[in-house]
Amino acid sequence: MSVLLSFFAAPFIVRQLGDSAYGVWVLMASVAGYLGLLDLGVRGAITRHIARFSARHEDLAASRTATGALQLFMVLGVLSVVVSSGLALGAVDRFSIPVEYHDAARIVLVLIGFNVGVSLIAGTYAGIVCSCNRLDLANLVDTVIAVIRTGTT
């Protein structure tokens, strides 16, 4: 669904922003992609381990796994905000971004950090939902989020 939405949204965004601003937009989206690497495969591990513990009726172990993952993702979420804020303060000037877009790029970088942080924390819950074999719910939530993101864009 995300690919389909992006396919139709991209021409609209280019027309609205213009070539230079769209280039800045794509650069900021690339930064978001790199910050997404902070997941470190933990979401997949949550799915695997909670499913295994649930099948064995080891509820305490499943709970500890979920709690540990949530704590880790909270730390990584804060790290995402710190890294994006640091990039906003120090790196925007080093990119080949037109000067008139520097302030907007800084704001977008900080917002990206918050977005990635929230997504990491939500990844704990998404992993739990997937571990219960409720991929229908996980896909529904992903679709709704993609539609909302595209609409707000």
> pLDDT digits over 58-106, tens only?
999 999 999 999 999 999 999 999 999 999 998 888 888 888 989 988 9
Which amino acid, one-letter code, is at 97?
Answer: I
Terminal CA-to-CA distance of the chain, rounded, Å?
A: 16
Question: pTM for this structure?
Answer: 0.82
Q: Please report where in the chains the tokens 């906003």 appear, as a residue.
A: 88
Would you list the DSSP string of 9-24?
Answer: HHHHHHHHH-HHHHHH
Query: Which tokens sit at 13?
Result: 């965004």
Distance (Å, rounded) from C-alpha 79 to C-alpha 128? 23
Q: In the predicted model, what is the mean pLDDT of the chain?
A: 88
Q: Where are the alpha helices (DSSP H) in the chain?
A: 2-17, 19-35, 42-55, 59-90, 102-131, 135-152
> pLDDT digits over 6-27, tens only?
788 888 888 888 888 888 888 8
Question: Distance of CA 11 to CAs 14, 15, 32, Å?
Answer: 5, 6, 21
